[in-house]
Structures are given as structure tokens and as C-alpha cells.
Amino acid sequence: MRIDNQYINAESRKRWIEMLQKQLIRENPSALPDYGVDGSYGPETTDWVSRFQERKGLEVDGLAGTETLGRLREDIVQLPGTTGRGVEILQEDLLFFYIEQSAVDGSYGAGTEQGVRDFQYYNNLLVDGEAGPDTLKKMDELLTKLFVSEGDTGSLVRRIQNQLNEQDAADISIDVDGIYGQSTKSAIEDYQNESDLYVDGVTGPRTMYILNAENSPLFTNGEMEEELEKLGLTFNDSSDDDLDKFRDIFRNHPEIMNVMDGDNFDNIYATEMDYPDGTEENEVVVIVADVVNKPNLAISGQFFKQSEELKTFAKSDIFGNLPDDDVEIKTYTIDDNDVSIETITERNVDLEDSLLQSQITFQEALQESRVRESELIIFGCNNGVVLRSQRGISTQDWTDIIGITCNIAISVSGNVLGSHIAATFGLATGPLGVTAIITTAIAAIGSYYFCSWLEGQF
């Protein structure tokens, strides 16, 4: 997808929403005064998109489609001598690429002009020191790029090379030349090996995040599960007989058999998890199943343990194993013998990024709750965080989700559950492996059950 040939709204990836918010502030330094660049497409972002559209004579809908994004791109030119929050963002982005100026002060002086010249030089752009559409587009492309591999060049490669030289996990010293050649690939492989990451020599979302966060790496699976248990979400060991019973129900369920279309199951995995209200109705058994001779397919579902009812299940079809290949997820909801189907299609790279962002969101939420001495009661990948304290419900610095409905999927819980199943049954968990597909499917169907608990909290 070309960077401006898209439709950005509340359902978009965080990186695209952040790009839009930066553009709004670049175009008008007074934009987004309350939340700024937070990656959440809330009322403030909608309002400022609408204001831009109205000023430019565009259709006013508060949503950033191709026409709005194109007009933003055309109209933004940051020049030496200007000041404001937009210049601060430019300076922060230059520092991200290890291009240093005198200060992040919102003043486009000689240092910032030279920094822009350096960025343009490193990325084969016209070197004029002005941050116009072409320069800012290249910067946005690099800031939203999730996979960097052999053959890539430019400022993002330079950043990775600098980080490799600075990290302590592996003994690495390479030239910072902006060329992702064999030496950089080998250095990434060494770093991945020492950091217990999947070793492929490609700087994908997880490798990039760990490089970015040497002092605050992601929770291990055990640490994540421990934190979730503190919030009331627990994983229980059911007896083999109980789990075998649910495997049999799943295998022979008429709707599952219809979806299988004559195929046979290979392995059927099962585990039990309990949602936080402690009632028997929210004890669920999760099933994940492989299909014989079709490694691209996975079928997953959840049962209420007490009623043994299967209300929702999902079918995941991986169209390939490359970052830009698609994964189709169909979610089936069974209600009084009527089955409704919802289909979404994601790229492998976006699945990996979504799962990673859910983990990051959870860790940030925990830290925020501790700083405020509030109790974290629930979280969502795109919807924000709810904090509960003696002063009541607070959503400060996150999207207002008091009116939340059943659309929320507990992505982090799904991620931990997928890792839990993978660890238990010895599944391969490469960056595009079975865990990403399992966890996405579980996150999608898990929201159905979790919602009955969530609605009761408000």
C-alpha cells in the first residue's frame, strides 16, 4: 500500500494514526492541543481533520481518506526560520534517525536546517534544507516501516546500525554506512541469537522494538501471564478427561464440520482460562486445531465450560509466509441455530505488529497505573486503558472509552494464551508462525465472552 493511498480512521494501525496526527500539527501548530500524537483516532483527531477539510474545501467527514491525505502532503512545507510544535516534531524525528541538532526547541534554525540536509543526503533526496512534501513523505515512510532487510538503504538502516553498535547483548561493531548488506544482516543474526529472538537476519517489529527498548524489554510469557493473573485472568489446568470431552464436541460439532468441508483435524489443543469476575459462566475452554495436510489453516473456538456451548469460532487461512502476504480470518457466531460470519483480511506483518503493540500497550498501562496509584482493570490494543482508583474511572491520556461496546478484543490476553498453548504443545513460534495466527483468532473470538464481564463493570 502506498503511504497516502489509504483510509485512516479509528480502526487503522497506530503507526498510520500517528503519521496523520503529525501531519495535522505540521500543517497547523495549534492542532491537537490536548492529546497530541498519541496514536488514537479519538474525538480530538476527528475534529481537527474536519477543520482541515473545511478550510480546504474538501468533504467534511473527519476521516482521512486519499484526498485528505494528499492535500495534507501537498500543503505542508516546513522552512528555516519557522517555529512551533511542528518544528519540534521534525527535530524529534531527525533525532530518531541519529541526526543531531543543537536542541529540540521548536525553532527551525541552522542546526535543524543542517539536520534536514543530512537526512536528504542519506536518502537520495534533493538537498535544500527545506522539509517539504518529498522529504516529509520519505521520513513518514521510514517511520512506518516494519521490516528492514538486506538490500535496504537510508536513514532507518543507519539507525539500526547505530543501535547495534550501542547495545550490550552481543559483541558487535559495524560501519554506519546506511547499507543493509551482509555485515549488517550477520550482526542482526548475532543480536537476535543473544536476545532469544527468531534468527532470520531481518529487522522486523519484534527485533526493532527490543533494539529500541534495551532497558525495558517485553515481558516474557511467564511474566505476562503473572501480570494478567494479578488482574484476575487465570489459566487453569483441567483434567485430561474434561479437555478430551471438549475436543470431541468440537470435532463433531455440525458447524465445525461444515467449515471443515471434508477435511480432517490433525492435532486439537485445549486449555482452560477464567475471566476476572469469578463466576462459573466465565470459565471457558479454548480449542485450537490443525488441519491434516493444510498447514496454512487453523480452526479455533471457545466453549463456556459449564454449559458446553460453542457460540463462536474462527478459521484462519494464511495465504503465504512472507511479511506482505495476507491472512484471512473468518469469525462465526452461532445464535439460535443461525450463524453469522465476519471476515477480516490482514497482512502477516500487521498481525505481528498488532500483537507486539498489544504487549507494549499492556506494559505502558501497568506502569501508568503504578505511577498514578490506580488499579488497572482492563486494556485494549487500539481502544486505550481504563484505570480505576478511589476517584473513580479515569481515561486521561487515552481515548475515552466509557461508552465501550462489545467490539473490544482483549489482544494481550489472546497473545498470552497463544504463547501458553504454543509452549505447552511445543509449536513452532517463528515471527510468522502459528502463534500469531492462533492469537489473532483467539483475540477475535475472545471479545464475545469477555464483553459480558466488561459491560457489568460500568
pLDDT of residue 420: 61
Q: Which long-range contacts (CB under 8 A, 24 or more apart) does 330-337 make?
A: 331/441, 331/444, 331/445, 332/255, 332/259, 333/448, 334/255, 334/310, 335/311
What pLDDT does 283 receive? Answer: 80
| Mean pLDDT split into 10-residue runs, the chain, 458 residues | 86 91 96 90 93 97 96 95 96 96 91 97 97 97 95 98 95 97 98 91 93 79 78 68 90 93 89 67 81 88 87 85 84 84 85 78 73 57 41 39 34 56 54 56 58 47
pLDDT of res. 385: 43
Cα distance between residue 392 and residue 371, in whole Å: 16
* Distance in angstroms (rounded) separating the CA atoms of residues 57 and 34: 26
What integer pLDDT is reported at residue 285 of this predicted model?
A: 86
pLDDT for res 116: 97
Position 408 scores a pLDDT of 35
pLDDT of residue 446: 59
Model pTM?
A: 0.81
